[in-house]
Structure formats: C-alpha cells, structure tokens
Amino acid sequence: MKRAPFPILQSINNACASHIRERTTGEQKKRERDVEETKVTQAAHEVERRTMPTQMSRLRVFANSPAPHFESGFGRIAETRMKGLPILNPRIRVKADNFRRWGNDWIGTVTTPWAVIVVYACGCRESWVDVPAGEVRTLELPAGDFPFLGCRDDLLGDYLMLSLVSPVTEFEDQAAAEAVAEIALRTILTVPEDEKFGTNYDTEEEGTPIPPLTPPVAGRKVIPIRAVPQGGADGGSVQVTRRGFFTRMAKGADK
C-alpha cells in the first residue's frame, strides 16, 4: 500500500509549484511588456527620424538658383527670431540676389535688416564639403582666399556665409545695401589687375607698391615724388576695416 506524503511536505510542494508558476507567468508578462515597449520606442524613433532634420536632410541641393529659398528663409527669420531687435535697420529688407554658378555650387548675396552677406550654397551633393556649424572653410576665389563660416539651420539648411557688413545701421536705403552686395561680390570674383596682367612689383616692408623705374623722356620735365609716410600725409595712423570700406562704398553708390 502506497503511503501518502506527510502533510507538511505536500504543502511545501504545493507552495513551490505555485511559486514556479507565478514566477514563470511574471517573467512571461515582463517579456511581453518589454517587447511592447521596444515596439513603441522603435516607432517613436522612426517618427523622429522622419520628422526631425538630419545632417543629410538639412543639406539642400539646388539645381536652379537658390535665391528664392534664401530670400524666403531669411524673410521668415526677420519676422520671427530677429523681430524687434535694436540692431535692425528698418530701411533695409531681405533681398537675395546676384546668385550664379561657381564650379558645382552657387554663390550670391543676401541683404537683411541686420547684415549684408555672401552665401555659398550646394549645387552638387557628391562634391560638397561638409563644414560643421561655427567652423570656417577657406574658399579660394579670384580675388583671394576668403573665410566662410559653416551654417546649419533647420529652416535654411546647410550653407556657407561670408559677412560683409553687420550691422547695417549706417545704410540710408535699400539701394545702398544692394549696391554694396553687388559690388563686393563682383570684386571677390574678379582677378586683381596686377595679377591679371602679370605685374610683379617689388614692395617695401610696409607693403607700399613701387612701380618699375622708367627713363625720363627727352624734353619732359621730371617731377620728383616724395614718399608719403604710412597712414597718410600727416603721418597719422589710418586703419581701414572691412566694415569701413563697404560703408564708404555704400555712400559712394548714393552719389
């Protein structure tokens, strides 16, 4: 005759079996919750990936002139982020102009109520050199090497910028700002005359050009020319900043 187990052992067995069942059920439910949470997280990441701009989506490649894009974008910035700031010149409005192909990319100007800038935008994804925001890329242009600042904006995308004048409070009207932008870009994209014709003047230590000597022509009076001290005829120090240069250019454009 088979003996029945002691009641205490039966209770222990029952308790162990119940614990194992509860533990198994709990682990199963936890695994199911983990799977659901993983699915939710993956779905959220997918939505974020599609809606938030990434480095590649911020890079806009322009087959045609990017002037409308930058004029619209900077116009929205003027109405939102920059609105009401004291550095704005109410006589100046946003205008993107003078854009042209430069190699595979685009270069042009943008006038805004707070600055006049040169913009360099992507025209070919494969050849575009990515420049992180705030870092500088030196572009070799006909007039020299110019430091363009890397810009990364959710509205405008990735582009390079060279500031010509900022702020623009000294400009009297829109025509003056646009004239400065046009003349500056034309100057930047033009080879200097001395390089164009292969002139190779010697220079003094101060950088004053010394033209080549030519013998006097018979019968012509030779007038000796006295060197002017550096900084001007009075010997004072004269420093010309880029802002001062373009400001005087703007005033000259009004005449």
**pLDDT tens by residue, the chain, 255 residues:** 555 555 655 665 666 666 666 666 667 777 777 777 776 666 655 544 444 444 445 899 999 999 999 999 999 999 999 999 999 999 999 999 999 999 999 999 999 999 999 999 999 999 999 999 999 999 999 999 999 999 999 999 999 999 999 999 999 999 999 999 999 999 999 998 877 665 554 444 444 454 444 444 444 433 333 333 444 444 444 444 555 555 555 555 555
Q: Is residue 98 part of a domain?
A: yes
Q: What is the pLDDT of residue 228?
A: 37
Q: Is residue 139 part of a domain?
A: yes
Q: Is residue 245 part of a domain?
A: no
Q: Is residue 145 part of a domain?
A: yes
Q: Is residue 193 part of a domain?
A: no
Based on the structure, what is the number of domains in the chain? 1
Q: What is the CATH number of the domain that holds 130?
A: 3.30.1460.40
Q: Is residue 208 part of a domain?
A: no
Range of the domain at 67: 58-188
Q: How far apart are CA 224 and CA 64, in angstroms?
A: 57
